[in-house]
Chain A
Amino acid sequence: MLQGWVIVLASFLYLGILFAIAWYADRRADSGRSLIANPAVYALSLGVYCTTWTFYGSVGRAAASGIGFLPIYLGPTLLFALAGFILHKMIRVAKTNRITSIADFVASRYGKSQLLGGLVTVIAVVGVIPYIALQLKAVSNSFAILASYPDIIMPAKAGAVPLLQDSALYVAMILAAFTILFGTRHLDATERHEGMVAAIAVESVVKLVAFLAVGVFVVWGMHDGVGDIFAQAALAPEVAHRLASADSPAAYGTWGTLIFLSMFASLLLPRQFQIAVVENVDESHLRRAVWMFPLYLFLINLFVLPVALAGLLHFPGGGGVDADTFVLTLPMAHQQEALALFVYIGGLSAATGMVIVETIALSTMVCNDLVMPLLLRLPVLGLAARADLSGLLLEIRRWAIAVILCLGYLYFRVAGEAYALVSIGLISFAAVAQFAPVVIGGLFWKGGTRDGALAGLAAGFVLWTYTLLLPSFAKSGWLPDGFIAHGLFGIELLRPQVLFGLAGLDEITHCLVWSLLVNMGAYIGVSLMRVPNLREARQATLFVGGAEAAGIPGWRGSAGIDDLLPLAGRFLGLERAQEAFSRHARQRGLRSLHELPADTRLVGFAETLLAGAIGSASARAMVASVVTEEPLGIDEVMNILDEASQVRAYTRELEQKSRELTRATAELRQANARLQELDRMKDDFISTVTHELRTPLTSIRAFSEMLHEDPRIDLAQRSRFLGIIVSETVRLSRLINQILDLAKLESGRAEWTVAAVDVAEVIREAADSLAPLFVDKRVSLQLDGCEAGLNVLADRDRLMQVMVNLLSNALKFVPVASGRVKVDVGAAAGEVRVSVTDNGPGIEAGDQEVIFEKFRQGTGNTDVLIDKPQGTGLGLPISRQIIEYFNGRLWVESTPGAGACFVFTLPRQAGDNGASQPTGEQP
C-alpha cells in the first residue's frame, strides 16, 4: 500500500494543506482579524527549532550516547526559562528600531553599517547551508526508506546516486518552489509573514503528535511500558554499554559546549530570530512562551530514549539500520503502515518548517543587506531613482531562495556523508554562535563599535571556517585532507582541529573555544581602540538604554568629544568650546580634552554648555536629538543649529534697530516739542514787538491827527503835542534799533570787533556821556577802583553799551536828588569784576531773573503813570547777551528797599595798557 506514488501524493496533499492554512491566515491578517495574535500560536511557532534533527537525529544520538541528545534542548530551556529578559529586551529593541532580521539587528546596532549587515548575511548563509542540507538529506532518506516498504533498506550514500535520479534534488526543487510561493507573494514593510507563522504552528503540532504517536506505539504497543524497555535494555550488554557511555567526563565537557551552543542557536539562527523576534506580535506573548516552549521541547523529547532503546533492541548489533531512522523503521517493521506514513509526514513537516522559515529569513537578509546595497551603489542601474522597487526586490528574493536551496543541495552531495545528521547541525550552531558576542554585547554594552563588530565577526568566521567547515569538506573527500593531519603549510600548530596544540577536545568544542575567543577578543579589543562615534553611540543608547532612551526627557547616552566639540564650536565659537572642554577635562583629572571619554558626563557637560548659548530647552532638544534616534544626520543638526543662530543674530539685530527707532522717535518728539515752543515763543515775540511798536505809533498818530484837524489849537498845547510826537518817534526808533540789535545778537550775525579793552577807560567814558542826565536828576555818581591795566578781551563799543545800559537803569530807578549810584571795579581770580550799585527801590527776588527777559521791566513803582520806566525792556537782555558772548556773567543782587547791585564779570586779559586797536581777532 505504501507505494511511491501514495507517499508522493500524501506529501503534496500535506503541503497543499499547509499552503491553504497560510493563505487563509494571510487573508485574515489583511482584514485585521489576525489568526496568530495569540500566545499559544507564538509558543508553538517557536517549535520550528525542532527540525528533522530532533525528529530523526535525536534518536540516533540517543542510541549512540544515551542521554547525550539532551543538551541541545537544555540550552533553549535554560534561555527561555531563566534568561527571558534577554528575549524581552531583544523584542522591545527590535520593535522600537523596526528590525527585520538578525543582519538588520547587527547592522543597525553598530551605526547602521551596511558592511556589517553584509558580513552577517554571508556568515548566516554559509553557516546555515549545512543545516538545510541536513533537512534535504532527512526527507529524501525517509522517502526512500518508506518507499521500499515492506523491505527496510537504507538509502544509498548521498553522492553516489546520479544527479537526475537523486530524490534529494527533487525535494530541493519542490521545497524551493513551495517556499517561493509561500514567502514571496508580496512585500511586507515589517517583513512579517502571518501565513507562514500559522503554517509553522500547525507543523509544530503535527510533528509533536507524530512523534508522540510513535512513542506511544513503541512503549505500549511494542513493549509493556517504559520500565519494560529499560529492563530489557539492561539485559542486553551492548545496549547497556551505550547507556553507560553517557557518563564519561568528555561527555560533560561536550554537554557544556552543547548547552552553550544551543542557547545561542535558539535565538540567533535566522529562523529562530525571525519567529521569536520579528514575527512576534505582542511582547506579552513571551510570558506564555517562556514555559510553553520548554514544555514542548520536553514533550517532543519524552520518548526519544525509549524509542532509541527499543530500536537497538529490535535491530541488534547495528543490523544495517541507521539509528536515525528508528522512528520510521520501527513502525515499518511492525507493519504499521498508517503510523509509518504519519511519521513520514511528521518528518516532512519538521523539514519543511525549517527550510521555509530559514530560507525566507535568509533571502530577506540577502536581498536587503547584501544585494540591494550593492545594486544601489551602481549608478549605471539608476536604481536609486526608481520609485517602486518592490518587483525587483521580490525577484531578488526568489532567486535567493533558489540559490540557497541549490547550495544546500550541493553541500548535501559534497559533504553530506561525512557526518551524522546531528553533527552537521552542530556545524551550523557553531557558525551562528559567532553572532553571540556582537549581539549580546550590542544589547548590554555601549562600547561596541562597528569596527569591533566587523573584526570580531570576521575573525570568528575565519576560525569557524578553518576549524570546522573546511575539515567537513575534507572529510568528505572534496578537499585534500592533508592539512587536517599536518596543519596549513605543514605547520603542526595550525592543524585545524588541534589548533595551537589545544588537544583533547571534540572538534565542536575546539572550534567553539577558538572562534569565540578570537571573536570576543577582536570585538572588545578593536571596540576599545576608539570611542564610539555619534551614530554608534546613538544606536547604543537606543539598544542598550532601552525604552528610557526613546525620546523621553531624561536622556541617557554618550557621544564622543570628536562630535560634541564641533557641535559646541558651531555655537560658541571653536575657541571657546575648546576652552570649555579643556576645563572640563582638567576637572576630571585628564590632561587634554581629547582624552575625554564618551560618557554621560561629557554629554551632560556639553548640554549645559550649549544651554548657555541657546537656552536649556533648545540645548536639551539638540543634544537629545543627536544622541537618541532621529533621522537627523550630523549635517542636518548643523544646519538646524546654523539656522537657529542666524535667526538669533537677526532677532538681535531687529531688537537693536527697534531700540534705535524708539530712541530716534523720542528725540524727534522732543525736537518737535521744542520747535513748537520756539514757534510759540516766536509768536509771542512778534506779538509783543508789534505791541511795543504800536504804542508809540499810537501817540504819534493821535497827536498828529489832532494837530492836523484843528489848526487853531493854542501854542502851548501845540508845542506840547509836538514834543510828545518827537519823543515818541525817538522812542520808536530806539526800540526798533534795539530789537534789531537783539535779533542780530541772538542769531549770531552780529559783528564783533574784539580787542583788549581797558575796562576803567570804558566806564569813565560811559559815565561822562551820561553825566548831564545825572546832573539833571541830581543823582551822584561815584567811580571806584577804576585803575588802568584791567583789560578784558571784548568789543569796546558793546562794552560801552552795557555800561550805559546799567548806568541809565540805575539812574532811572533812584529817587530824585537823593539818588546815589556807585561803580566798583576790581580783579579777582583771573576775572575783572564791575558792579553798579544804586539806592533805588530794589528788585524783588521773584523779579530778579524776570528783568533779564525781553520786554520785561521792573515793577514795584507806586505811581506807574508818572514813573513808568522809560525804556524798552530790552536793555538788560542785550547786555547779558553781550557779556555772555565774552564768557562773562551778568546778574543782580538786591533786597527790596535796599537798592540793587548789578554785577558782571569778564575773563581778565593780560595785555598792554591803552592798546585798544581793533584787531578783529576772535579769541
Chain B
Amino acid sequence: MSHRVLIVDDEPNIVISLEYLIKKEGFEVAVATDGEAALQQAADFVPDLILLDVMMPKKSGFEVCQALRADPAQAAVKIIMLTARGRETEVAKGLALGADAYITKPFSTKELVLQIKSLLA
C-alpha cells in the first residue's frame, strides 16, 4: 500500500523536481499550487504526508498548516514545511504550528527522502 504525498508549491520547476523524486520512491503524488488548493487536496486526496511551501498565493503555508492541525480529520497527516524562508523565527513558528519537520531550500534530495521515509514509517 503506497503512501500518498501532497506537494504544495507555486514554483513549477520545484514541483517537477519534487514530483520526480517522490514518484521514484514509489509514492502517490498530488500537487497543489496555492494555499486554498492545498486544503482542498488535503481533503480530497487524503495524503499521508504533505510537503508544504510557505510563500504561496491565496494562503500561506503557515495558514494551511494551522488549518490542517485544527481539523481533527487531518490529525494523522504528517507535514513537512519546505521553504526558502529559513530564519530561526520562522522555523520555530512552523514547528509551533504543528509541522512535523521544517526543511529549508535549497534542500538535499537525499535528506528529504530520508525525512519523508522516516515520517511515513
Contact = CB atoms under 8 A, between A and B. Distances in A.
Contacts of B105: 694-695, 697-698
Contact of A728 (B13, B24, B109): B13
A866 B34 CA distance: 13
Nearest to A691: B84
A864 B33 contact: yes
Interface stretch (B15-23, B40-48, B62-70, B92-100): B15-23
Interface stretch (A236-244, A518-526, A700-708, A909-917): A700-708
A682 to B, nearest CB: 14
B108 interface: yes
Contact of A698 (B24, B33, B57, B106): B106
A674 interface: no
A576 interface: no
A864 B10 contact: yes
A344 B32 CA distance: 148
B87 A868 contact: no
A729 to B, nearest CB: 11
B101 interface: no
Contacts of B10: 864-865, 868
A622 to B, nearest CB: 70
Contacts of B106: 694, 697-698, 700-702
Nearest to B90: A687
Given A691-B55, A694-B106, A699 B87 contact: no
Contact of A690 (B11, B15, B33, B84): B84
B72 interface: no
A859 B20 CA distance: 28
A864 B16 CA distance: 15
A575 interface: no
B85 A698 contact: no
Contacts of B85: 687, 691
Interface in A796-828: none
A340 B104 CA distance: 144
A866 B85 CA distance: 23
Contacts of A868: 10-12
A687 to B, nearest CB: 7
Nearest to A693: B84
A724 interface: yes
Given A709-B109, A864-B34, A865-B10, A698 B16 contact: no
Given A694-B84, A864-B33, A865-B33, A702 B12 contact: no
B76 interface: no
Interface centre among B33, B105, B108 (most CB of A within 10 A): B105
Contacts of A699: 11, 13-14, 17
A691 B11 CA distance: 12
A706 B11 contact: no
Contacts of A702: 14, 17-18, 21, 106-107, 109
Interface string A859-877: 1000011101000000000
Nearest to A724: B13
A698 B12 contact: no
A702 B34 CA distance: 21
Contacts of B108: 701, 705
Contacts of A727: 13
Nearest to A683: B87
Interface centre among B10, B18, B85, B106 (most CB of A within 10 A): B106
A859 B11 contact: no
A700 B34 CA distance: 22
B107 A701 contact: yes
A706 B21 contact: yes
A687 B107 CA distance: 18
Given A701-B108, A864-B10, 5 more contacts: A697-B106, A698-B84, A700-B106, A703-B17, A865-B15
The 3 closest A-B pairs by CB, nearest first: A694-B84, A702-B17, A698-B105
30 contacts: A687-B87, A694-B84, A694-B105, A695-B84, A696-B13, A697-B105, A698-B11, A698-B17, A698-B84, A698-B107, A699-B13, A699-B17, A701-B108, A702-B17, A702-B18, A702-B109, A703-B17, A705-B108, A705-B109, A705-B110, A706-B17, A709-B109, A709-B110, A724-B16, A727-B13, A859-B57, A864-B10, A864-B33, A868-B11, A868-B12
